[in-house]
Chain A
Amino acid sequence: MTVRDSLIPQLRRGVLEFCILALLRETERYGFEIVRRLTETDSLVTTEGTLYPLLSRLRREGLVDTTWRESPSGPPRRYYHLTASGHEALKAFIAEWERFRASVDTVLGTT
């Protein structure tokens, strides 16, 4: 089993939900917008459709909440925004991530 086969998908899965939270830090966004923003960055998302289950989980966990709004074109859209506990989770992750990244970079010599 190579690194790409096993480790990277697991890493991606773990980090992705916080990337979604980060996208919603400043503004609310609708599903398709979140999906396309994430796929603009390389290697974060391989299959767009799997983001919708992830969004639904974040909602169940109370990290995001949704509101339906009229769309200028087509049917109404569901907009996602961060809840208070979503903001908190994101803040905690960012602090954790910075420490983690610094440690790994130091060991790998990739700073």
Chain B
Amino acid sequence: MTTDPIVRDYLNDLRRAARRLDKARARELQAEIEAHLQEAIPEDASEAQVRNELERLGTPEEIVEAERPAPPPAAAGIHEWAAIFLLLFGGFIFLIGWFAGLILLWSSRCWRTSEKWLGTMLIPGGLAAVLPLIAIVGSAQTCVRRNGITVRCTPVSGPLPVWVGWLFLILVVAGPIATTIFLARRARTPAALR
């Protein structure tokens, strides 16, 4: 049973998810779920049967989540709003603000792990990461100078047209904003209740 690749993957995921638990309890939980699967899945089970049993069991994430002592369903508070603000603008404070935002994001109970990853992955540094890009796009021009006086400036046509640069820039600005709006909406309903 435990040699089935689908089951093995599941148990590996569980081991990974259970890392945040106390070590002894993590081992025990792993053994309990393994014993459960041993009973639930017959030796000659079809793949469909295996998948059904795993689905009945729930995701490893859900199971580990249930280990938390009676989760008080926290609604979004100052903690969450600070996280969102810092993720978006914290990069302007020598990046430290952004890191603080990350810590707040991951310590909150209002978001699921997948949502936390989304907040983490999308353009590290938040909007501050965009500044260098603006500088690059904005400065892509050559100027003709005569006697130290700038006479005429023309945009440089590099390998990509300038409008591509601007389009990219708009996407890069819209990305973090859209993500934080999404996180803000999700935070209104605590993850434990979703």
Residues of chain A within 8 A (CB-CB) of B59 are 47
Contact of B57 among A47, A56, A57, A77 (CB under 8 A): A47
Verify A56–B25 contact, CB threshold 8 A: yes
Verify A32–B28 contact, CB threshold 8 A: no
Residues of chain B within 8 A (CB-CB) of A9 are 193
Which residues of B36-67 are within 8 A (CB) of A? 36, 38-40, 56-60, 62-67
Is A1 close to B, CB under 8 A?
A: yes
Which residue in chain A gives the minimum CB-CB distance to B1?
A74
Contact of B28 among A49, A54, A56 (CB under 8 A): A56
Which residue in chain A gives the minimum CB-CB distance to B69?
A57
Interface size on B, residues (CB 8 A): 26
Is B138 close to A, CB under 8 A?
A: no
Verify B63–A49 contact, CB threshold 8 A: yes
Is B73 close to A, CB under 8 A?
A: yes
Is B194 close to A, CB under 8 A?
A: yes
Verify B56–A50 contact, CB threshold 8 A: no
Q: Nearest-CB distance from B65 to chain A (Å)?
A: 8
Residues of chain A within 8 A (CB-CB) of B58 are 46-50
Is B104 close to A, CB under 8 A?
A: no
Cross-chain pairs A/B with CB under 8 angstroms, 13 sampled: A5-B189, A46-B58, A47-B56, A47-B59, A48-B58, A49-B36, A49-B62, A50-B62, A52-B33, A53-B63, A53-B67, A56-B28, A78-B32
